[in-house]
Structure 1
Amino acid sequence: MDHFLYKDGVLHAEDVPVAEIAAAVGTPFYVYSTATLERHFRLFDEALAGMDHLVCYAMKAASNVAILKTLARLGAGMDVVSGGEYMRAKAAGVPGERIVFSGVGKTRDEMRLALTGGIRQFNVESEPEMEVLSAVAVELGVVAPITVRVNPDVDAKTHAKIATGKSENKFGIPIARAREVYQLAADLPGLEAIGIDVHIGSQLTELEPFRLAYQKVAELTETLRADGHDIRRLDLGGGLGIPYTRGNEAPPLPTEYGALVRETLGHLGCEIEIEPGRLIAGNAGLMVSEVIYVKSGEGRDFLILDGAMNDLIRPAMYDAWHDIVPVIEPEAGAEQQPYDIVGPVCESGDTFAKQRMMPRLSAGDLVAFRSAGAYGAVMSSEYNTRPLIPEVLVNGHDFAVIRARPTFDEMINRDTIPEWL
């Protein structure tokens, strides 16, 4: 569910007409719904009610500080994967004890940053990382709390580029080697192993891969406890998918996911952490773009938009589908025709959809890409010297620009010319 609905024939973001935002900030732009962000966080939080738990938002999905602050006010923790994300979480007012540091390539500087600024835990992914983290912690005179990310070799049945739990993926340590790795952690002076971490991928649309992974985690928990390790926290990652195409079979609900967690892990008495990102932010955002031209080609028509692959790269990178809808609601029974919907970047890959059925559109019309709140703005770039597009947050009848579009001068002046030129 989201809060982007047609009212009086115009698409609204909560109570604000999308066309009004377009007139104020120009196109293209991202717009997010506070009500949707809050609703989706609460669904996860309520799904684990009665269990000791923390919902840590995976901020790589959408990391604007205003979004983080919206969720932090509800008690969300943050899952970060870089020093920059750690600093964004702190800027949003998230205390260190609610920040989890994930990622396969943490640097010494990032470790120092988190250890001095406060951290809930590091999710470590290899023995070399453990040894470096221990050394940094000893230098600082502290002990680093860790979980070890185990790779359960479970097929998440998702896109190959966002699957993370199979043996050939770069993430975690093989679950078969967990006992020796936890013994190494126990022997290192700067570490305290407090739990287990697992994350098998993103955009999962069924529960069975989670079940298989969590059953392995439950067995491992009992084995490690028998070895003398105090396993008291289970970080289950994220990955629950969202419906990108309206009318298709919906992925499982957070309530169903919560029931699965209880069934497979509830008997262990561990604190549960989950790290949803896409399901919280995905349907909470739109990208809005204007039609520049309608071009007739050889056997097909093109809608050429002012938004491009640098603004929303998911279709080019993942062949991802986004519903694309007119901002002005078509009349019932309006004639539709197929369009290739493309951007202005000089790449054939700058294509959002091919032969997509749409009502007839003209230059100047606005269209909205649904389910663009996750991995949209955060993956955008300035390719072709195109400015990063504004981000807007709506709250009821109000809206505010939470990231402004830079000017060309601001972009160009970031470059420096060496003295010999």
Structure 2
Amino acid sequence: MVNAFTYLDNQLHAERVPASMLAEQYGTPLYVYSRAALTDAYRSYADACTGRRAKVHFAVKANSNLAVLSVFVRLGAGFDIVSGGELARVLAAGGKPNDVVFSGVGKSAAEMRIALDMGGCCFNIESLAELEHLNQVASESGRIAPISLRVNPDVDVKTHQYISTGLKSTKFGVAFDDARATYRAALGMKYLRITGIDCHIGSQITEISPYLNAIDKILELVVQVESDGALIQHIDIGGGLGIRYHDETPPNIGMFVKTILDHFTQRGHSHREIWFEPGRSLVGNAGILLTRVEYLKPGPVKNFAIVDAAMNDLIRPAMYNAYHTVDAVTPRNNQPLVTYDIVGPVCESGDWLARDRPFILETGDLLAIRSVGAYGFAISSNYNSRPRAAELLVDGAQVHVARQRETITKLMDGELVLPDYI
């Protein structure tokens, strides 16, 4: 895998651009993505799919920036979306409706209508109620909706409880024991056309065996529903392949894809198209967050490096207790190391980005928080009325402003003060 963020002459670079130059020109906090890293990760999937009946759909929720999406459009990716807003982003980036899979447990009638009017979009259905609702909306629109059921195989992947999606206790998918009956119900609905089956067991998965266990259960179900009259053209195994944040050892992407596809062949299902929905493994290590040290605050128990990025910019540490490597953009080597908690200015004790990290720091130094390309900016907010960071896409020595920094004025767009007569 390409590591696009490396040191040259004691300066961290984003591809061929010094990170310090980006911070000076565009300010901090600042998200920086590498086109080379995005491309390399996608090709790891696509190359392993060459000559096989397989397709790669990028999970847009991981990073929905238009510049990032347009990179994947140009590479030939499909897209997995979970909202009407994500569909609009894919189309704005040049994606085609027939390359889109619409997932999510709570699609509204308005979102369904938009996707139906676009044509070609396959709906991943997650409940009998949603199935019935889509049939009604499709009838009103005069359309036939292509569908697959997202089946919950009840496979435990031993990941964080918030990103484990394949257990009976989660809100996702049709329960495995109810899936055959739900497919039978779909066969009786005039405005639905069954095209496939889907499962998604979780995120940040670092082993292949849970996927194989889930696939085996899904294939049992495929045989049953086809005996009932359904035709399963594609099997969507979802996403969730993990990345290295610290000391994780996820499988090589190419080996992962080959193992999955070979398993389908060994089970006698090579005639079906297999869909992958990677998110984190395509974009996670393709992004860094640059932040500047505002203050150094020594204490009796902890030393704090207070930076200008905060939990509103990167909430993963606070939400998931997630580890992100933090590096000095220009490392110092002439003083003893001091252990710091890297924290932000938000008024919450949970506003931390890294804990117990050894550094030689001075006020004004730049830090780079790594592996933030997935679920970094995508889950950022305006908490404490903080404008969201700018986003850049670096391509060799070229820099593209992927999103301008928000302004405080923009934060108040659409808000109204109370009028005098009330």
Q: TM-score, normalised by structure 2?
A: 0.96
Tell me which amino acid in the other structure corresponds to 1:276. P
Cα displacement string for residues 194-237 of structure 1 (whole angstroms, at most 9, x for unaligned residues): 11000000000111111100111122112222222111111110
Distance 2:185 2:44 in 1: 38
Distance 1:165 1:221 in 2: 18
**Cα shift at 1:334:** 6.5
Q: Which residue of 1 aligns with 2:112?
A: 111
The answer as to whether partners of 1:96 and 1:117 remain within 8 angstroms in 2 is yes
Q: Which residue of 1 aligns with 2:320?
A: 318
The answer as to whether partners of 2:206 and 2:248 remain within 8 angstroms in 1 is no
Q: Which residue of 2 aligns with 1:394?
A: 394
Is 1:348 aligned to residue 353 of structure 2?
Answer: no
Cα displacement string for residues 135-160 of structure 1 (whole angstroms, at most 9, x for unaligned residues): 11111111100000100000011100
Cα displacement string for residues 307-351 of structure 1 (whole angstroms, at most 9, x for unaligned residues): 0000000000000000000001344x9742211111011100001
The answer as to whether partners of 2:243 and 2:280 remain within 8 angstroms in 1 is yes
The answer as to whether partners of 2:45 and 2:254 remain within 8 angstroms in 1 is yes
Q: Which residue of 2 aligns with 1:403?
A: 403
The answer as to whether partners of 1:295 and 1:301 remain within 8 angstroms in 2 is yes
The counterpart of 1:274, out of the listed 273, 276, 286, is 276
Distance 1:59 1:230 in 2: 28
Q: Which residue of 1 aligns with 2:382?
A: 382
**Cα shift at 1:253:** 1.3
Aligned residues: 417
Q: Which residue of 2 aligns with 1:361?
A: 361
Distance 1:409 1:67 in 2: 26
Q: Which residue of 2 aligns with 1:161?
A: 162
Aligned pairs for 1:15-414 within 5 A: 15-245=16-246, 248-266=247-265, 267-268=268-269, 269-331=271-333, 335-358=336-359, 360-414=360-414
The answer as to whether partners of 1:29 and 1:390 remain within 8 angstroms in 2 is yes
**Cα shift at 1:353:** 2.1
The answer as to whether partners of 1:152 and 1:213 remain within 8 angstroms in 2 is yes
Gaps of 5+ in 1: none
SS state at 1:60 partner: helix
The answer as to whether partners of 1:215 and 1:264 remain within 8 angstroms in 2 is no
Gaps of 5+ in 2: none
SS state at 2:402 partner: strand
Tell me whether 348-357 or 278-287 shows the greater mean CA deviation. Answer: 348-357
Tell me which amino acid in the other structure corresponds to 2:59. A
Cα displacement string for residues 224-275 of structure 1 (whole angstroms, at most 9, x for unaligned residues): 2222211111111000000001xx2420111221122123323311111111
Tell me which amino acid in the other structure corresponds to 2:392. V
Distance 2:83 2:418 in 1: 30
Tell me whether 410-419 or 385-394 shows the greater mean CA deviation. Answer: 410-419
Tell me which amino acid in the other structure corresponds to 2:312. N
The answer as to whether partners of 1:95 and 1:118 remain within 8 angstroms in 2 is no
The answer as to whether partners of 1:237 and 1:274 remain within 8 angstroms in 2 is yes
Structure 1 stretches (4+) deviating beyond 2 angstroms? 333-337, 417-421
Q: TM-score, normalised by structure 1?
A: 0.97
Cα displacement string for residues 58-81 of structure 1 (whole angstroms, at most 9, x for unaligned residues): 010000011000110010011100
SS state at 1:46 partner: helix
Tell me whether 405-414 or 149-158 shows the greater mean CA deviation. Answer: 405-414
Cα displacement string for residues 270-294 of structure 1 (whole angstroms, at most 9, x for unaligned residues): 1111110000010000000000011
Tell me which amino acid in the other structure corresponds to 2:302. R
The answer as to whether partners of 2:115 and 2:121 remain within 8 angstroms in 1 is no
Tell me which amino acid in the other structure corresponds to 2:406. P
The answer as to whether partners of 2:126 and 2:173 remain within 8 angstroms in 1 is yes
- Going from structure 1 to structure 2, the CA distance change for 1:49 and 1:345 (only over 3 Å counts) comes to same
Cα displacement string for residues 154-211 of structure 1 (whole angstroms, at most 9, x for unaligned residues): 0011100000000111111111222111010000111011110000000001111111
The answer as to whether partners of 1:326 and 1:366 remain within 8 angstroms in 2 is yes
